[in-house]
Structure 1
Amino acid sequence: MDRIIPVSPGDEVDVVLHGVTQEGKGVGRISAAGSSGRADRGGFTLFVRGGLPGERVRARVTRVARGYADAEVVAVMEASDARVRPPCPVFGACGGCQFQHGDYGWQLDVKRERVREALERIGRFRTVYEGSGDPGVGGSAKGSGEVMGSTGKSEEAVGEGRLLVPAGAHSPVDTVVIHSTLGMESPWRYRNNIHMAVKNRGGRLAAGYYSSGGRRWVATEDCPIADKRLVALIRAGLRAAEVCGWQAAEKATHGPAGARSHGESTGGVGRLYHLAARVAPGTGQTMLIAVVDREQMPHLGEFSDRVRDAVPEVTSVILNVRRRGEGPIYGRRSIALYGPSRIVDRMGGLWFEISPTSFYQVNSQQAERMYRLAVEAAGLDGSQRVVDAYCGVGTLSLFLSRSAAWVTGIEVAREAVADARRNARMNRIGNARFQVGAVEEILPRLVADRQPDVVTLDPPRRGCRREVLEALICSQVPRVVYVSCDPATLARDLRILAGGGYQVRGVWPVDMFPQTGHVESVALLGLQ
């Protein structure tokens, strides 16, 4: 028998919210009658954009699916103590931030709760909050409510395909201490890197972001989580491009970045896809990047000069050429119109070169704190042999190298390894080596041959391949530090390692992206 769907698009219902998704939607349930004045956890699920846990709201249904419906707040009848006014005028339309309507303390609680729920639901661990003495099983962070995936499912089903929880891990075992989320003193203006899609709007060039899912472009002249220097550079680039006669690749009504634009196949003056800007907070160096469809853009010298006139302190002005089939943001070729082709940052006493398209953590302050936390968790005294898997451009590797006998980094991206080696030379670090290749292919051989004392893991969102975890278990590496950007895959991988003889000695959530639903974590494991 099919389940009754009690609402239709356009209906307005009263609902009490008891949870929140990663996308910042309040979670409530209504009865078959279509309304609920209490948190009815047995009814039909509503995901309410703009709502917070503990609130009673009137919501308008925007979409109905099998088993749930999407809605948006029409009126807040009983507000949460955590509710604040978002400072961004396009919050809710832009897809960049999800939590600006909740105060920062609430955000930190929600993120710790999300880690807790993943560890319990997926990893089947018992959890306890640091200093509370109370098990986290069945509990929640103060004011955060239930934390759910975007579809209301357990996070076992969230991410790249279904997560494979290992057999035999279906009852809670072990106790994992979850520490307080490591937050920022000021959770605004922290981004050191932004890229904005450029459109023709009303005869002028405008820059903006895409909504969640990339279905709608939202114009904006500011971004409160971006460094002000980046905003100034984007504005200067727009005005310079207009004066030089550049056109946007798409009109404001066209689809998301990466979709084919009319400018790719036509003649004319050339087309501008994106403007991006980077800042190195440790040195103050800045870079503006114009992403275009051809090298021969008109008046390139004038474009560069006008950017420099508007922002005299700019370090580099770069033209990035994105050919058809490249992208979705950058092309393969970058040309320096002014200044060096890379800028240099200083973080944690180390120097790092940043190219126009290279990966570099967007929150330098929190990245340094997270790397220092990982080094502390590794327990180094100068004698340890360390393998840093998924090392990227070598940032964590170089932090580790100052307290280790030697560090070997593994990374599949050849360009990132080249950057890592360059960064090691620039810092005169001789005890860090880097290998190009897939971690699942190199790590099993490396841990068997070199017998490291510590392995650090910093995988992408999908987590570690099973071969990586099995290699650690077989080699019985004494200490593992896992840096995660997804609580669901972290929980899955920790359960596999725990089943192989490791004990999770602590998990530290880190708020790398304030005002969003994302959370990083550092986990320490040792042999039982």
Structure 2
Amino acid sequence: MKEKPYHKQQNNNNVSIQTGQQFPLTIKRLGINGEGVGYFKRKVVFVKGALPGEEVVAEVTKAGERFSEAIVRKIRKESPDRVKAPCPIYEQCGGCQLQHMNYDASLVGKQDIVAQAFSRYTKIPDQHLPIQKTIGMDNPWYYRNKSQLQTRKINKQVIAGLYKEGTHELIDLSACLVQHQQLNHVTQIVKSILADLNIPIYNERKHDGEVRTIVTRIGFETKQVQLVLITNTAELSNKELFIKEVRQKLPEVTSLMQNINDSKTSLIFGEQTYHLDGEETINERLGEFSFDLSARAFFQLNPKQTVHLYDEAKKAARLSGKEKIVDAYCGVGTIGQWLANGASEIRGMDTTREAIEDARANADAQQINTTYEVGTAQKWLPTWLKQGFKPDVVVVDPPRSGCDPQLLKSIVQAKPNRVVYVSCNPSTLAKDVQQLMDKGYKVVNIQPVDMFPWTAQVESVTELVLKK
């Protein structure tokens, strides 16, 4: 394709970038969403599919005052880290962002993504940032233990997949290279059962039909599979026949559930969950620990890397056996219970009732001294403080939005000796860390962990200590 001309301008501050404009660009680094980052006349340009070190011709798809977005029209100088993506629908799906990048190079890129966030949002000098190399996987494929695929019906065929990036066009995932292979198999069979029994599939535009989403989860160690149908209605047509077919064709499914979500929302789960067949939970083991998982309970999606993540959290907690620990956003109690043999008491909280019920059962089964409550961390930590409970270590593993401001205030009020911050979003992590630094905490170590190979996501464990 012929390159469009670009014009030099004398005043860089007045440069106006236009949608459709093309210009040469050198890519300096990876952005937080996996895109390449370059600078045109000192203005930031995010280029989807470009890699650090490459010289490309970029075409602007979205122009803005603070930054612009672009795509690659031509690669003039290719990075030695560029590889051919093995997934045949990589470009269409959008679930992965870095399959075109050498895996070892992606680990370096993820370390840099975390470092960039700290550089931007904290006062720590770049040269003094205590960040380690990213912990990667020996085999970074088929690592996800959970699949959540939206459904559609095209002619008489049921498809299930992910939305193409920036659209509501559903891309059918017949086989996914990052999902556990058993989940790929279960989803394919479920699609055929739904089609054969003519069970109505949800129509997003009309907000009618029944089956919205097929959710599957597997215990990597136990091989137990949970299948959850997310439906728009409490009614499920041919329910008994569906249960019978699943029993016959998918004996690995040990838990069959139905969740009702009748809202016009992008959220997957609704509030009501019904037991259809088998057990209500599946079991997973991490190291010496065993966890029962209900349909809506949060559990890390990459069990093999979870062991590394939690080991780093335990290392950061520096336990002697006497510490009292608060496990905020505790889910089914995984992190707290992982740390339990080095502590005297664990207290945790989560807003999902089923998760707390699982956490209590998991702790009882392992005879761990715990207290778990339903509710927010910003509610329970101040309550416990008033009751005279003072934690030595607070572990937080918040959603991507970061810690609630009230929780950060409560942590400052509690003054634990250590805060262990497990994060899935470097930007909100760095912002929260600076707030704790402003109140007397110091960052001792930052350890990135690659929980989601081939995506731009990076988890990390940050160790903070209270200055004496």
Structure-1-length-normalised TM-score: 0.80
SS in 1 for 2:39: strand
* C-alpha displacement of 1:486: 1.7
The one of 381, 387, 390 equivalent to 1:451 is 390
Partners in 2 of 1:18 and 1:393 — Cα distance? 41
Q: Summarize the Cα distance change of 1:77–1:408 in structure 2 as closer, same or farther, 3 Å threshold.
A: same
Paired residues of 1:182 and 1:511 also in contact (CA < 8 A): yes
Q: Unpaired runs of 5+ in structure 2?
A: 1-10
Partners in 2 of 1:45 and 1:4 — Cα distance? 12
Number of the residue aligned with 2:26 = 16
Q: Unpaired runs of 5+ in structure 1?
A: 31-41, 128-134, 136-174, 251-259, 265-269
Number of the residue aligned with 2:180 = 227
Number of the residue aligned with 2:14 = 3
Partners in 1 of 2:268 and 2:379 — Cα distance? 30
The one of 133, 137, 162 equivalent to 1:184 is 137
The reply on whether 1:319 has 2:258 as its aligned counterpart is yes
Paired residues of 1:249 and 1:261 also in contact (CA < 8 A): no
Q: Summarize the Cα distance change of 1:420–1:98 in structure 2 as closer, same or farther, 3 Å threshold.
A: same
Paired residues of 2:207 and 2:264 also in contact (CA < 8 A): no
Partners in 2 of 1:465 and 1:291 — Cα distance? 29
Number of the residue aligned with 1:63 = 62
Paired residues of 1:98 and 1:516 also in contact (CA < 8 A): yes
Q: 1:248-267 residue pairs with structure 2 within 5 A?
A: 248-250=201-203, 260-262=204-206, 264=208
Q: Summarize the Cα distance change of 1:92–1:23 in structure 2 as closer, same or farther, 3 Å threshold.
A: farther
Number of the residue aligned with 2:39 = 29
Q: 1:154-169 residue pairs with structure 2 within 5 A?
A: none
Paired residues of 1:326 and 1:332 also in contact (CA < 8 A): no
Partners in 1 of 2:104 and 2:295 — Cα distance? 35
SS in 1 for 2:50: coil
Partners in 2 of 1:495 and 1:62 — Cα distance? 34
Paired residues of 1:345 and 1:354 also in contact (CA < 8 A): yes
* C-alpha displacement of 1:419: 2.3
Partners in 2 of 1:415 and 1:443 — Cα distance? 20
Residue by residue over 1:236-277, the C-alpha shift from the partner in whole angstroms, topping out at 9 and shown as x without a partner, is: 000001110123222xxxxxxxxx54253xxxxx52211111
The reply on whether 1:435 has 2:435 as its aligned counterpart is no
Number of the residue aligned with 1:110 = 109
* C-alpha displacement of 1:421: 1.2
SS in 2 for 1:65: coil
SS in 2 for 1:118: helix
Partners in 2 of 1:20 and 1:326 — Cα distance? 31
Partners in 2 of 1:67 and 1:377 — Cα distance? 37
Partners in 1 of 2:66 and 2:412 — Cα distance? 41
* C-alpha displacement of 1:311: 3.1
Partners in 1 of 2:33 and 2:311 — Cα distance? 29
Q: 2:423 is aligned with what amino acid?
A: S
Partners in 1 of 2:121 and 2:207 — Cα distance? 47
Partners in 2 of 1:499 and 1:46 — Cα distance? 32
Number of the residue aligned with 1:302 = 241
SS in 1 for 2:85: coil
Structure-2-length-normalised TM-score: 0.90
The one of 244, 249, 252 equivalent to 2:197 is 244
Partners in 2 of 1:61 and 1:373 — Cα distance? 41
Q: Summarize the Cα distance change of 1:451–1:271 in structure 2 as closer, same or farther, 3 Å threshold.
A: closer
Partners in 2 of 1:118 and 1:496 — Cα distance? 14
Partners in 2 of 1:288 and 1:96 — Cα distance? 21
Number of the residue aligned with 2:415 = 476
Q: Summarize the Cα distance change of 1:111–1:405 in structure 2 as closer, same or farther, 3 Å threshold.
A: same
Q: 1:263-342 residue pairs with structure 2 within 5 A?
A: 264=208, 270-324=209-263, 328-342=267-281
Paired residues of 2:294 and 2:354 also in contact (CA < 8 A): no
Number of the residue aligned with 1:209 = 162
Question: Share of identical aligned residues, percent?
Answer: 33
Partners in 2 of 1:107 and 1:118 — Cα distance? 17
Q: 1:105 is aligned with what amino acid?
A: D
Residue by residue over 1:27-77, the C-alpha shift from the partner in whole angstroms, topping out at 9 and shown as x without a partner, is: 2334xxxxxxxxxxx344432221111112233433333454433223323
Q: Summarize the Cα distance change of 1:111–1:216 in structure 2 as closer, same or farther, 3 Å threshold.
A: same
Q: Summarize the Cα distance change of 1:332–1:185 in structure 2 as closer, same or farther, 3 Å threshold.
A: same
Q: Summarize the Cα distance change of 1:416–1:75 in structure 2 as closer, same or farther, 3 Å threshold.
A: same
Q: 1:276 is aligned with what amino acid?
A: V
Paired residues of 2:349 and 2:376 also in contact (CA < 8 A): yes
Q: Summarize the Cα distance change of 1:214–1:279 in structure 2 as closer, same or farther, 3 Å threshold.
A: farther
Paired residues of 1:322 and 1:331 also in contact (CA < 8 A): yes
Partners in 2 of 1:361 and 1:23 — Cα distance? 20
Partners in 2 of 1:483 and 1:205 — Cα distance? 38
Number of the residue aligned with 1:88 = 87
Q: Summarize the Cα distance change of 1:438–1:67 in structure 2 as closer, same or farther, 3 Å threshold.
A: closer
The one of 357, 371, 394 equivalent to 2:333 is 394
Q: 1:406-417 residue pairs with structure 2 within 5 A?
A: 406-417=345-356
Q: Summarize the Cα distance change of 1:324–1:488 in structure 2 as closer, same or farther, 3 Å threshold.
A: closer
Number of the residue aligned with 1:74 = 73
Paired residues of 1:453 and 1:478 also in contact (CA < 8 A): yes
Paired residues of 1:232 and 1:311 also in contact (CA < 8 A): no
Q: 2:64 is aligned with what amino acid?
A: A
* C-alpha displacement of 1:500: 2.5
Moved more, 420-429 or 228-237: 420-429
Q: Summarize the Cα distance change of 1:450–1:295 in structure 2 as closer, same or farther, 3 Å threshold.
A: closer
Q: Summarize the Cα distance change of 1:274–1:451 in structure 2 as closer, same or farther, 3 Å threshold.
A: closer
In the alignment of these two chains, the number of paired residues is 455
The one of 395, 399, 402 equivalent to 1:463 is 402
Q: 2:188 is aligned with what amino acid?
A: R
Moved more, 271-280 or 465-474: 465-474
Paired residues of 1:236 and 1:306 also in contact (CA < 8 A): no
Paired residues of 2:199 and 2:238 also in contact (CA < 8 A): no
Number of the residue aligned with 1:121 = 120
* C-alpha displacement of 1:470: 3.7
Q: 1:277 is aligned with what amino acid?
A: T
Q: Summarize the Cα distance change of 1:229–1:20 in structure 2 as closer, same or farther, 3 Å threshold.
A: same
Paired residues of 1:194 and 1:278 also in contact (CA < 8 A): yes
Paired residues of 2:296 and 2:355 also in contact (CA < 8 A): no
